Amino acid sequence: APDIDVKSVKADLDQLQSIADANGGNRAHGQAGYKASVDFIKGKLDKAGFTTKVEEFDGGGAKGYNLVADWKGGDESKTVMAGAHLDSVPDGPGINDNGSGSAGILEVALAVAKADLKPTKHLRFAWFGDEEDGMVGSQAYVNKLGADKSKIDSYLNFDMIGSPNPGYFVYDDDTRLEKVFKDFFAKKNIATEKETEGDGRSDHASFKDAGIAVGGLFSGADYKKTEEQAKNWGGEAGKAFDACYHQSCDTAKNIDDKALDNHTDAIAHALWELSS
Ligand code: PHE
Ligand code: ZN
Ligand code: ZN
């Protein structure tokens, strides 16, 4: 898999920050900044040759949007999906939560196009709306899949992958998917832990509840880093992984570049390997 240039991911985050700045400081479900975020990501995917769809759903009386992008080719009865929620909370621009996962999978998708990848399994990327009110967009997506859910080989979720006081947490829901990420980080001599803070708390839950194999990465939210974790990962013990979680200070400054870089490279590795 290619190395993903973290500068491109950061440039996308700057764009999402600008979108929030121009739209009342947030990119929340039901607000103009959300739809503008969808349009920004979609524009890049269309230009790169993806087939994109914007799927509408109702989220608490407001119109919600999921953005779905398919890469041509591969066995569609074995679709490998990567997803991230694109909405922020109303209180802030949501750059770590979850501009980071959104920009990370965007740059991996663009790398797939650049490499003109010819995967054995079909590849699909999704940006979900209204996660912050209880995974509403991803649930709407899975409901709409119906019987086609048997065609989803695996779903990989990326929600918060650039936390400023970062950890390296790998979802432990499925051993096969967990191993792909663990092996990648082991090669880079980066210690990982099983992800427990987020069980049932992000879009992978919608897929897992439907019986689909799920995996993913997480760099930590409002839990505090322990002494032991600070020894392994650096950063500050006794401080939250993301002290700006769900706050107005979750801006483009609220990112650890190295963590974002490592996590984005891990996504590329996993998608290349799982779709081959
Ligand atoms: N889903 C949470 C949110 O968006 C963040 C989170 C992700 C928490 C993964 C734990 C694990 O606020
Ligand atoms: Zn959140
Ligand atoms: Zn989130």
Per-residue pLDDT of 55-83, as tens digits, reads 999 999 999 999 999 999 999 999 999 99
ipTM: 0.95
Strand-strand pairing, 193-195 and 62-71: unpaired
Closest CA to 4 of 257, 240, 241: 257
Mean residue pLDDT across the chain: 98
Round to whole Å and give the CA distance between 160 and 261.
Answer: 13
pLDDT at 1: 96
Query: Starting from the edge strand earliest in sequence, which strands make up the sheet with 121-128, in order?
Result: 51-59, 62-71, 121-128, 75-85, 152-158, 214-218, 169-171, 193-195
> Cβ(218) to ligand 1 under 6 A?
yes
Cis peptide before 98 (omega within 30 of 0): yes
CB 85 within 8 A of CB 246: no
Atom of ligand 1 nearest to the CA of 199: 11
Per-residue pLDDT of 113-161, as tens digits, reads 999 999 999 999 999 999 999 999 999 999 999 999 999 999 999 999 9
Neighbours of ion ligand 3 (CB under 5 A): 97-98, 159
% of the chain with per-residue pLDDT over 70: 100
pLDDT at 106: 99
Which residues form the catalytic set? 131
> Cβ(259) to ligand 1 under 6 A?
no
**Three-class secondary structure of residue 235 per DSSP:** coil
pTM given for the model: 0.98
Q: 274 is written with which tokens?
A: 């799982």
- Local confidence band at 196 (pLDDT 50, 70, 90 cut-offs): confident
The best mutation among 131, 201, 208, 222 to test binding of ligand 1, ranked by most ligand atoms within 8 Å of the C-beta, falls on: 201
Least confident segment among 40-49, 50-59, 80-89, 194-203: 194-203
> Cβ(159) to ligand 1 under 6 A?
yes
CB 128 within 8 A of CB 138: yes
Cβ neighbors of 58 (< 8 A, separation 6 or more) are 64, 140
pLDDT at 137: 98
Per-residue pLDDT of 207-232, as tens digits, reads 999 999 999 999 999 999 999 999 99
Closest CA to 234 of 160, 163, 148, 146: 163
The best mutation among 27, 34, 97, 132 to test binding of ligand 1, ranked by most ligand atoms within 8 Å of the C-beta, falls on: 97
The average pLDDT across 49-59 equals: 98
> Cβ(88) to ligand 1 under 6 A?
no
Closest residue by CA, ligand 1 atom 10: 198
Round to whole Å and give the CA distance between 123 and 131.
Answer: 22
> Cβ(97) to ligand 1 under 6 A?
yes
- Local confidence band at 180 (pLDDT 50, 70, 90 cut-offs): very high
Round to whole Å and give the CA distance between 36 and 108.
Answer: 21
| Cα-Cα end-to-end distance for the chain | 11
The average pLDDT across 37-47 equals: 99
Round to whole Å and give the CA distance between 96 and 159.
Answer: 8
